[in-house]
Amino acid sequence: MTNKLTHFVNGKNVPGQSGRWFEVTNSATGEVATEVPMANGEECARAIAAARAAFPAWAATPALRRARVFFKFKELIERHADELVDMITVEHGKVRDDARGSLTRGLEVVEFVCGAPHLLKGSFSGDVGRDIDCHTIRQPLGVCVGITPFNFPVMVPMWMFPVAIACGNTFVLKPSEKDPSPSLRLAELLHEAGLPDGVFNVVHGDREAVDTLLTHPDVAAVSFVGSTPVAEYVYETASRHGKRAQALGGAKNHMVVMPDADLGQAIDALMGAGYGSAGERCMAISVAVAVGDIADRLVEGLESRVKSLKVGPGSDDSSEMGPLITAEHRAKVASYVDRGVEEGAALVVDGRGLTVSGYPGGHFLGGCLFDRVTAEMRIYKEEIFGPVLCVVRVADLDSALELVNNHEFGNGTAIFTRDGGWARGFASRVRAGMVGINVAIPVPMAFHSFGGWKRSLFGDTYMHGTEGVHFYTRLKTITSRWPTTVRAGSEYSMPTMK
Ligand code: NAD
């Protein structure tokens, strides 16, 4: 008998009613770990109704009190960290240290919203006209929806709901069906922290659930993170139905290695950024751009490191890289490696034949390294989302910039160099949302904002930080005059300062 998950609506675990189930696998063994119900439209509508009913009282709760729930939530997450880390490792597959790191990055958003009263402060201008003052406030939107990907089952939902809820909104989360357990646990912990019923709800599902959430008249805003085709669909559909929307999509992040870079540091960084989390990160480096004469030394250094990468179950603390999320995804990534060979790239390390002793059914793929990849190849153009690093050789910084800037995606990028002029020029001219200088994965902290350019983000606002607060609130500007002052009489012309 496998464990069956529930939805979480109006403060309670609610069994699925649609009769449709999705089998969640343990990525290291390939066995079914749990089954998750796939919500139909009616079940989603009930979650939206619960969130709508909870909204007026929650919006009217002082921000300081809302923040106090998050202080408690932070404490509970810290207390249950091991349990959450284990859930991530079993269902996603990433190694425990990495899972813990992603939990911490999510927790930092919770810490950020503990300052909600400060974040929501408006501005005030006295005497904008004779005896007239003007002030601004930011007010919540209503029911907000989050739709999240498999690769960060705790961190990405936590980019969204803490900010939305601390701003006074209520929330419906539709997590990835591939690793849904941590979201439910987060809902239970929020409940334990004192969040009123209906403020945070979880419905599991696929396109049927998503379509209800995107089109329902009682939903005010939609945040999405996932692949570019779905991001584009979500953004267009939600916008067409009058919702505020932000949809973060896929990536192909380039790391430019200049000839003067510290080679050891660059290789260490590429190993972590290319193969950490089995390459299933939207900020993973999947292209190394070797500039000038560093290419041979770079590829040689990478080759031995990729060959000795320790691949194993995430629960084994000596593993450096775990399995991929599903057997289908493993097959898709391996087929990209086949294609790269057909396209004429040089396969320096081939991880396709890897087996992990004791885990015959696991979704493991060894690290793969391609050299002499060109911009015309599909392995360069498309997001592979696996442990496959492509090296492209170019002559100079201008050619490297042209390559990065011409790519469809523009999430993150990095340059490794000792030259301040090169680094500064790159940061200024590159077309990407997040740039690292000798930092391979420049994920902004919670008090800054996360988002990419080009087809890596649809919409105008990034996640968390002040951008997140702006996304989940509306600005209201109030101009006031009190009757005790001198009466101005009727004015028929446009009011101006007299
Ligand atoms: P995905 O697009 O397949 O799924 C994301 C969410 O959308 C899931 O909740 C899924 O159930 C739902 N979904 C899937 N297909 C749908 C459809 N046809 N209609 C409606 N909803 C649908 O993405 P994934 O495979 O879970 O995650 C990996 C992708 O996410 C990669 O492309 C990665 O780059 C991207 N990602 C981006 C960021 C970022 O910040 N830009 C962060 C993490 C992941």
Domain range summary for the chain, segments of one domain joined by +:
3-249+456-478, 253-437
Q: Is any atom of ligand 1 closer than 6 Å to the C-beta of 177?
A: yes
Q: What is the pLDDT of residue 489?
A: 77
Q: What is the pLDDT along the chain (498 residues), one digit of tens a residue?
A: 678 999 999 999 999 999 999 999 999 999 999 999 999 999 999 999 999 999 999 999 999 999 999 999 999 999 999 999 999 999 999 999 999 999 999 999 999 999 999 999 999 999 999 999 999 999 999 999 999 999 999 999 999 999 999 999 999 999 999 999 999 999 999 999 999 999 999 999 999 999 999 999 999 999 999 999 999 999 999 999 999 999 999 999 999 999 999 999 999 999 999 999 999 999 999 999 999 999 999 999 999 999 999 999 999 999 999 999 999 999 999 999 999 999 999 999 999 999 999 999 999 999 999 999 999 999 999 999 999 999 999 999 999 999 999 999 999 999 999 999 999 999 999 999 999 999 999 999 999 999 999 999 999 999 999 999 999 999 999 999 998 756 667 888 887 766
> Which token pair is 422?
């090169």
Among protein residues, the one whose CA lies closest to atom 20 of ligand 1: 207
Cβ neighbours around 10 below 10 Å, total: 17
Buried b (16+ CB within 10 A) or exposed e, 303-332: eebbeebebbbbbbeebbbbbbbbeebbee
Do the Cβ atoms of 273 and 320 come closer than 8 Å?
no
Residue 231 Cα: closest atom of ligand 1:
2
Q: What does DSSP say about strands 244-248 and 457-458: parallel, antiparallel, or unpaired?
A: antiparallel
CA of 224 to the centre of ligand 1 (A): 8
Domain 3-249+456-478 superfamily per CATH: Aldehyde Dehydrogenase; Chain A, domain 1 (3.40.605.10)
Q: Is any atom of ligand 1 closer than 6 Å to the C-beta of 202?
A: no
> Which token pair is 426?
């790159």
Query: Tokens 């007239």 correspond to what residue?
Result: 132
Q: What is the pLDDT of residue 493?
A: 84
- Pocket test residue of 27, 148, 177, 210 for ligand 1, highest count of atoms within 8 A of CB: 210
Q: Is any atom of ligand 1 closer than 6 Å to the C-beta of 86?
A: no
Nearest CA-CA partner of 326 in 205, 178, 176, 225: 178
CA of 150 to the centre of ligand 1 (A): 7
- Pocket test residue of 91, 160, 230 for ligand 1, highest count of atoms within 8 A of CB: 230
Q: What is the pTM of this model?
A: 0.96
Q: What does DSSP say about strands 388-394 and 3-4: parallel, antiparallel, or unpaired?
A: unpaired
CA of 301 to the centre of ligand 1 (A): 33
Q: How far is CA 445 from CA 99, 121, 424, 462, in A?
A: 17, 21, 21, 12
Q: What is the pLDDT of residue 485?
A: 59
Q: Is any atom of ligand 1 closer than 6 Å to the C-beta of 151?
A: yes
Whether 282 is a known active-site residue: answer yes
Q: Is any atom of ligand 1 closer than 6 Å to the C-beta of 411?
A: yes
Q: What is the pLDDT of residue 488?
A: 67
Q: What is the pLDDT of residue 1?
A: 64
- Which H or E element spans position 475? strand 473-480
User: How far apart (Å, rounded) are the C-alpha atoms in residues 129 and 488?
Assistant: 11
Among protein residues, the one whose CA lies closest to atom 36 of ligand 1: 226
Q: How far is CA 182 from CA 14, 412, 424, in A?
A: 16, 27, 40
Q: Is any atom of ligand 1 closer than 6 Å to the C-beta of 326?
A: no
Domain 253-437 superfamily per CATH: Aldehyde Dehydrogenase; Chain A, domain 2 (3.40.309.10)
- Pocket test residue of 206, 408, 413 for ligand 1, highest count of atoms within 8 A of CB: 206
Residues in the chain: 498
CA of 149 to the centre of ligand 1 (A): 4
User: How far apart (Å, rounded) are the C-alpha atoms in residues 254 and 42?
Assistant: 43
Q: Is any atom of ligand 1 closer than 6 Å to the C-beta of 283?
A: no
* Sequence letter at residue 417: T
Residue 248 Cα: closest atom of ligand 1:
41
Task: Say which of 167, 282, 368, 390 is annotated catalytic.
Answer: 282
CA of 248 to the centre of ligand 1 (A): 9
In three-state secondary structure terms, 257 is: strand
Residues 163, 167, 170, CA angle at the centre, nearest 5°? Answer: 85
Cβ neighbours around 108 below 10 Å, total: 17
User: How far apart (Å, rounded) are the C-alpha atoms in residues 281 and 185?
Assistant: 23
Q: Is any atom of ligand 1 closer than 6 Å to the C-beta of 176?
A: yes
Positive/negative CA dihedral, 429, 411, 222, 446: negative
Q: Which long-range contacts (CB under 8 A, 24 or more apart) does 77-82 make?
A: 77/103, 77/107, 77/110, 77/186, 77/189, 78/107, 80/185, 80/189
Q: What is the pLDDT of residue 491?
A: 80
User: How far apart (Å, rounded) are the C-alpha atoms in residues 245 and 80?
Assistant: 32
- Which H or E element spans position 302? helix 295-307
Q: Which long-range contacts (CB under 8 A, 24 or more apart) does 481-485 make?
A: 481/129, 481/131, 481/132, 481/133, 482/131, 485/131
Do the Cβ atoms of 462 and 450 come closer than 8 Å?
yes
Q: How far is CA 224 from CA 103, 149, 208, 469, 471, in A?
A: 19, 8, 16, 16, 13
Q: What is the pLDDT of residue 358?
A: 96
Residue 325 Cα: closest atom of ligand 1:
25
Query: 139 exposed, middle or buried (CB, 10 Å; 0-12, 13-18, 19+)?
Result: middle
Dihedrals φ, ψ of 418, to 5°? Answer: -105, 0
- Which H or E element spans position 416? strand 412-416
> Which token pair is 256?
């430019």
Q: What is the pLDDT of residue 360?
A: 96
CA of 54 to the centre of ligand 1 (A): 28
Q: What is the pLDDT of residue 497?
A: 65
Query: 299 exposed, middle or buried (CB, 10 Å; 0-12, 13-18, 19+)?
Result: buried
Dihedrals φ, ψ of 290, to 5°? Answer: -90, 120
Q: Strand runs (DSSP E) across 303-351, as ranges?
A: 346-349
